[in-house]
Structure 1
């Protein structure tokens, strides 16, 4: 990739960090906020993670690796989607970093994605992640 632009989305959720963490790691919730994808992983550092789904009538299997796990605080993973049309090689993977911070009885959830090739690509990713973190908020707040 030509650049390393970062897309960042954040939102404040009226739920504690443990509740938000549960949403981030529960397969049923992940399916809901990850655009219908089924997730396969054991959420352990070094483990693989796969998201399988269908996008615009086309089946896909995105993949990555869990890099860091701090329950209730931080989750870092790589992510590659063959739908992007790029070759499956390390320089085409993004790193997704989920950070949870206490914010006045609620939780500030921040999701960042690195390795975007241009400011426009980062802005496109941010738009998608804005929708995703809003879905996490909705799921977490409904209890």
Structure 2
């Protein structure tokens, strides 16, 4: 069973962020592979081609995003503590994946996207909704159904998340 919550807006150290939480019926080691193994991460992350040097300061590269097919971006691993934490920079943002083992072989998964710009909150939250739907499907060993991005975005804007940033592939 997966407990799905919409993303929420918060500030961390004075920076804007969006945070998502899931509970997966898998041990932390399995969820870690979905987060830290480039082949598994590529199955749900917005870039289907990923390389990771999994040490602090190590390089991470992303390419093949259908919204930006020509773009390749890179970042640096900020923190890695297998199988509990992976954090890296991506553009001006930071992504933090935190895993907590729970009773019954389950795992709490928390994704925090610390944003470079406040007006990207609604856009990024909607994007993570789409990505996390694919992660949920991977965790349940079922085909992914891609939810529509625009209704999620509209919902976040209506809920008051900061918005107005350009939308890749649309603006």
Q: Same fold judged by TM-score > 0.5? A: yes
CA deviations 1:54-107 (Å, max 9, x no partner) are: 423632112100011110111110001xxxxxxxxxxxx111110001233211
Partner of residue 37, structure 1: 48
Q: Which 5+ residue runs of structure 1 have no aligned equivalent? A: 81-92
Which structure would you say has the larger RCO, counting Cα contacts within 8 Å and 6 or more residues apart?
1
CA deviations 1:12-54 (Å, max 9, x no partner) are: 1111110000111222212211135211122111101001114
Partner of residue 4, structure 2: none
Partner of residue 135, structure 1: 134
Find 1:64's aligned residue among 60, 75, 79.
75
Q: For residues 74 and 121 of structure 1, do their structure 2 counterparts lie closer, same or farther at Cα, with a shift above 3 Å needed?
A: same
CA RMSD of aligned residues (A): 2.1
2: CA distance, partners of 1:127 / 1:5: 15
Partner of residue 77, structure 1: 88
Q: Normalising by structure 1, what TM-score?
A: 0.78
Q: Which 5+ residue runs of structure 2 have no aligned equivalent? A: 1-13, 143-171
**1:116 and 1:122 in contact (8 A); partners too:** no
Partner of residue 27, structure 2: 16
2: CA distance, partners of 1:51 / 1:129: 16
Q: For residues 104 and 127 of structure 1, do their structure 2 counterparts lie closer, same or farther at Cα, with a shift above 3 Å needed?
A: farther
Moved over 3 A (4+): none
Partner of residue 122, structure 2: 123
Rg larger in 1 or in 2? Answer: 2
Greater strand content? 1
Partner of residue 94, structure 1: 93
